[in-house]
Chains A and B, each alone.
Chain A
Amino acid sequence: MKTALENIKSTAAEAIGSCDDPKALDALRVRFLGKKGELTAILKQMGKLSAEERPVMGQLANEVRAAIESAITEKAAVLKEKQLAEQLRAERIDVTMPGKRQVLGKPHPLTLVMDEVKEIFLGMGFDVVSGPEVELDHYNFEMLNMPKDHPARDTQDTFYINDNVVLRTQTSPVQVRTMETRRPPIRVISPGRVYRSDAIDATHSPLFHQIEGLVVDRGVTMADLKGTLEIFVKRLYGEDSVVRFRPHHFPFTEPSAELDVMCFNCHGKGCRLCKGEGWIEILGCGMVHPTVLKNCNIDPEEYSGFAFGMGLERIVMRRFNIDDLRLFFENDQRFLDQF
């Protein structure tokens, strides 16, 4: 009997060892451990043994059973793992194939940068205001210290609807309207479309976008203007931007300035990008002309303020190295998809 048990043990060990299929393993379990299995068959002969042999054989039989059981469990685990590995291998896909994508639209590059500019100013406490594009001459020019025969009108080739109505050449009329309706403290930017009768080419468009800003309060100084715009430029172009304010002239500000940023390309030495000047003009600004404040019923003795304005297209063109302004208004998908 002992021999029989040991035979079973070794036969089972061999059979389990060479088994490589879960179903066959199950069959082995039945064959060796089942109710009608080989081990049970032998145990049925226990009765024939002597009282001394019985516990010895019983123990041996249990050991054999335990050994077979554990061999089967172990094997089962191995087979399961193997099966999983095979499944995973079979399910392998080419991950370099393109993904399934939702069609995604994109903002226009002008909006992209416009939103950035708006965000910077919102963060500095500027509300965003808007006004009509078809505008009264009164707001576009006269209130801004540019009466009908003012020479500065020549620098802004204007589309006229009639003698009193123009397509706004700047978003400054929005500032005037703001000053008429809000009392200081005022802190606003007015982004929007503006119009000048420039023939369409790579660098000119009869329609473009401006972002102007206005601050009016008690005790606003030119130093505040410098501080505010320097922060703006650093947010837009990076903290390492070098800025200079250079005297200039605008009819609606006094003193007036232009803000230049040191050329990113040549760092002031002068190159093709900055046309040899070493600086790139970014925006115009100045302290609001007292006449303009007075026109808006704000007492220039009590209040002061500053204003600034910049063209969006030029900023965007520089940002993305776009060399033709017309692309913005042609709206070719191959262009729009790049931003």
Chain B
Amino acid sequence: MDLSMRWLSEFVEIDTDAHTFAEDMTMSGSKVEGYQTEAAEVSNVVVGKVLSIVPHENSDHLVICQVEVGKESPVQIVTGATNVVEGALVPVALDGATLPGGVKIKKGKLRGVVSEGMLCSLGELGLTTHDFPYAIEDGIFLIEEECQIGQDIHDAIRLNDTCVEFEITPNRPDCLSVIGLAREAAVTYKKPLRLHEPVVKGSGGDISEYLRVTVENPVLCPRYTAKAVKNVRVKPSPLWMRERLRASGVRPINNLVDITNYVMLEYGQPLHAFDAKYVEGGHIIVRNAHEGEVIETLDGVERKLNSSMLVISDPQKAVAIAGVMGGENSAIMDDTNTVIFESANFLGSSVRVTARGVGLRTDSSARFEKGLDPKNTYKAVMRACELVELLDAGEVVDGIIDVDNSPKEPTVIRFEPEWINRFLGIEVPTEEMVDILTQLGFTVEGDQITVPSFRGDVEHKADIAEEIARFYGYDKIPVTAIRGVAKAQLTPIQKFERTIHQTLQANGCYEVMTYSFISPKYYDKIGLPESSPLRDSVVISNPLGEDTSVMRTTTLPSMLEVLSRNYNNRNASFFGYEIGNEYIKKEGQELPDENAQVTIGLYGDCDFYTLKGMVETLLERLHVKTFDIRPETEHPTFHPGRCAVLFLNDVRIGILGEVHPTVLQSYGIGTKAYLAKLDVNALFSLADPVVEYRPLPKFPATTRDLSLVCNEELPIIEIEKTIRASAGSHLEDVKLFDVYQGAQIEAGKKSVSYSMVLRSAESTLTDAEADAAVKRVLKALEKMDVVLRA
């Protein structure tokens, strides 16, 4: 809402500068976004009177003017304009003047003749013919206002208003008006609010001769008020009105249109003016639109309606979309004789849905949708008629149409000053509270507060507390600490996730953050079969675009995107991880399961075992102790020979592997890449964080190295498992230290070397004991065709 300070001053006296005003209003709850003085860039431009015009000796199109500018002697100005006449009042930019756009005027010579300044057009002052309809576009602005020679142009043509831009919150539609803001300003500065009661003289006749109104849906239209004006005279509005509209950011059009805009700005009540002769049978019906009904609105666009929308109609056709925009078919034209001013109240939610439905948000709908005061319709239409008479724009027909079904019971709230003080933590005397409320338009009687009809947002004593707080001053509320014991801590799962972050970062992984929504096409990119249940995503019904249209059921594509972007940005190597959710639909649940996953992605300086080592380190750090790893050949995203799944107590908790070449290709990754994904909650539930101290060994360990030969297909882990199972209680550790295939080994076989660490807690192990353990191991290995290398 752009507020003209001059307009405001009609209702309340403000004697601070704009900067302080902006600060004060912001702190009392009307947020000021900024302010601007009109034509601030224009300086040293005054009103001049053209005394004489003589031709320029050296030019056909230039003339030399002597212009009186209120100084001892007239100034000489050379101009090329053709509309200047002797005796005309013109804006003169004197030597050193500035104009919009950073233009500077300097004394100079034009074809050998001294020119001490410039005569200005409207455009050169930053104005248009909308602001001064009597002037011409391309010529000097010949001023018709009452003004003095030598007067500063700002004052002379009232180009001296300040416009303050407010951000009005949706709960305060009453502040989308000069009067509403004036009320706030009056309370802020403890100044009286000077309201005006419109007075209409009238010119006889009766509105019933022109119009009758039927409201078919009083829920959507609680009140419909209308006045008629006959013998209208369409012409430009006077300067004062144009000037206020301009300062409020509204372009002046003609007196009738300007009056509706003026009243909307002043009262916050949108008015609609239409030509009575196009209303069939003089009968207005406020009804729901027919399904599929079409109306061409004033902006020349055809709008398709549905039956939830309210229209203003005659018996034949709709003439306006209620509260949104009028129809082209009833617009005011030059030949209009009788105008109907409609000042109605429509249900906010209905206007909101309608405006959205037809894709048209207007100044009018923006006000209606917040819920306006039904009591305002009468005053607003009377004010419009008052202005019609003031502007001599037509003759106001007597009588008024007022179909009023609006609720009449005001909101009453108990006045509890002690509660308010306690709630806010302040001590404001009751009288001060009463003063604030009374000034705001509330009525306080005993312990009852009656809320004014224009304050639909006030329903509860907490709302009253806010009114008190705003004008008492938020900055005066003291600063205290919350009482009570503070005993917060991170939950076990939060600490668990923290450990995941720390461990993976220590392993060289950068944390990444990706969108939770993806394109369903990404499922193709990672090779998911058509039948995969993972394709059944939670779908966003109104997505921004396909790329962000479904909630991911797997984090793999998100990580692949990250790898791809880094690869294509020529980062040589990238290790990344993310803890993020997968969203899995569940039968019989309205909301999907949101399963947190830790996803790791690597490429560059790494291989499968880098990734596996990282996963193993992570699991160790998380106290996930006994997990099982099995080859996985079926997952479409992974290399069938380089993929494994992790099981813990037969629960599948994750997958890791090299990315399938086809998938790499679809992501444009030109190098091998590796992905792992582990279910955070599964890990958490299976982790055993209990740590028990074991005394450090007192006796030395004995080491035995085993070089074995086995079938090349045998997974190494089987050997290790067997060693662990058969070596006996003295086995402390088994480490693989070499795997070899080549010249010395028979084809189809591989050599595998282990180092066994044996130790007893009771004594130094004898060679015999160690050898016995080795023997047991070899015997067990023999059964699976694993033998000592010759």
State the CA gap A290–B423 with chains docked (Å): 12
Give the distance to chain A from B675, nearest Cβ to Cβ, in Å: 15
Cβ 8 A contact of A246, one of B172, B474, B539: B474
Interface status of B711 (Cβ within 8 A of chain A) = no
Which of B67-75, B140-148, B563-571 lies at the binding interface?
Answer: B563-571
B-contact bits for A240-282, CB 8 A (1 contact / 0 none): 0000111111010011110000000000000000001000000
Sampled A-B contacts (13; CB under 8 Å): A106-B505, A107-B511, A111-B513, A122-B490, A133-B594, A151-B349, A151-B370, A161-B540, A206-B517, A254-B465, A289-B462, A328-B513, A333-B566
B301 within 8 A of A: no
- Chain B interface residue count, Cβ-Cβ cutoff 8 angstroms: 87
Establish whether residues B566 and A187, one from each chain, have CB atoms under 8 Å apart when the complex forms. no
At the interface, yes or no: B20 with Cβ under 8 Å from chain A? no
Once the chains bind, are B540 and A106 in contact (CB under 8 Å)? no
Establish whether residues B486 and A125, one from each chain, have CB atoms under 8 Å apart when the complex forms.
yes
Instruction: Give the Cβ gap from A212 to chain B, nearest Cβ, in Å.
Output: 16
Within 8 Å of chain A (Cβ to Cβ): is B737? no
Taking a contact as CB atoms under 8 Å apart, the answer to whether B510 and A333 are in contact is: yes
Q: Quote the shortest CB–CB distance from A221 to chain B (angstroms).
A: 3
Known: A107-B511, A219-B483. A134 touches B551 (CB 8 A): yes
User: Does B515 contact A329, Cβ atoms closer than 8 Å?
Assistant: yes
A185 at the interface (CB under 8 A from B): yes
Q: In the complex, how many residue pairs between chain A and chain B have their CB atoms under 8 Å apart?
A: 245
Q: Which residues of B contact A150 (CB under 8 A)?
A: 349
Cβ A197 vs Cβ B479 within 8 A: no
In the bound assembly, the distance between CA atoms of A291 and B569 in angstroms comes to 52
In the A-B complex, the 8 residue pairs with the smallest Cβ-Cβ separation, listed nearest first, are: A125-B486, A223-B425, A103-B508, A149-B349, A221-B425, A255-B466, A247-B29, A249-B169
Q: Which of B489, B543, B590 contacts A159 (CB 8 A)?
A: B543
Number of chain A residues whose Cβ lies closer than 8 Å to a Cβ of chain B: 83
Shortest B408–chain A CB gap in Å is 23
Q: Give min CB distance, A328 to chain B, whole Å.
A: 6
Give complex CA distance A116, B566 in Å.
28
Shortest Cβ distance from A332 into B: residue: B569
Q: Specify which of B469, B484, B487, B494 is in contact with A255 (CB 8 Å cutoff).
A: B469
Is A170 interfacial (CB 8 A cutoff)?
no
The listed residue (B423, B562, B571, B575) touching A105 by CB distance below 8 A is: B575
| CB-based contact B370/A128 at 8 Å | no
Known: A134-B591, A159-B543. A227 touches B480 (CB 8 A): yes
* Cα-based distance from A226 to B423 in the complex (angstroms): 13
Partner of A254, one of B466, B543, B544: B466
Tell me the bound Cα distance from A107 to B539 in angstroms.
31
Is B501 an interface residue, CB under 8 A from the partner?
yes
A33 contacts partner chain B, Cβ-Cβ < 8 Å: no
Tell me whether B171 is interfacial, beta carbon within 8 Å: yes
Residues of B within 8 A of A52 (CB): none
Contacts of B512 in A (CB 8 A): 108, 331, 336
Contact B513 A134 (CB under 8 A): no
B residues bordering A, Cβ < 8 Å? 26-29, 31, 34, 169-172, 348-349, 352-353, 369-371, 422-426, 460-463, 465-466, 469-470, 474-475, 477-491, 494, 501, 504-517, 538-544, 548, 551, 562, 565-566, 569, 571, 574-577, 581, 583, 590-592, 594
Q: Is the CB of A222 within 8 A of B424?
A: yes
A217 touching B571 by the CB < 8 A rule?
Answer: no
Q: Which residue of B lies closest to A125 (CB)?
A: B486
| A154 within 8 A of partner (CB) | yes
| B462 and A255 contacting across the interface, CB-CB below 8 Å | yes
Known: A134-B594, A329-B514. A223 touches B480 (CB 8 A): yes
In the complex, which residues of chain A have a beta carbon less than 8 angstroms from the beta carbon of B170? 151-152, 154-155, 249
CB distance from B783 to the nearest CB of A (A): 43
Across the interface, which residues of B come within 8 angstroms of A226, CB to CB? 477-480
Nearest Cβ in chain A — how far from B694, in angstroms? 29
A336-B510 in contact (CB<8A): yes
Q: Out of A126, A155, A161, which one reaches B488, CB within 8 Å?
A: A126
Residues in B whose Cβ lies below 8 Å from that of A207 = 515-517
Q: A122-B489, A226-B479 are in contact. Are A249 and B513 (CB under 8 A)?
A: no
* Among A122, A221, A222, A332, contact of B571 (Cβ-Cβ < 8 Å): A332
B478 touching A102 by the CB < 8 A rule? no
In angstroms, Cα B426 to Cα A155, docked, is: 32
Known: A122-B490, A124-B486. A256 touches B466 (CB 8 A): yes
A211 interface hit (Cβ, 8 Å): no
Known: A103-B508, A105-B509, A226-B478. A221 touches B422 (CB 8 A): yes
Contact B469 A247 (CB under 8 A): yes
Residues of A within 8 A of B569 (CB): 332-334
B488 lies within 8 A of A107 (CB): no
**Across-interface contacts of B422 in A (CB, < 8 A):** 219, 221
Complex interface: chain B residues within 8 A of A244 (CB): 27, 474-475
- A199 near B: Cβ within 8 Å? yes
Contact A105 B507 (CB under 8 A): yes
A21 at the interface (CB under 8 A from B): no
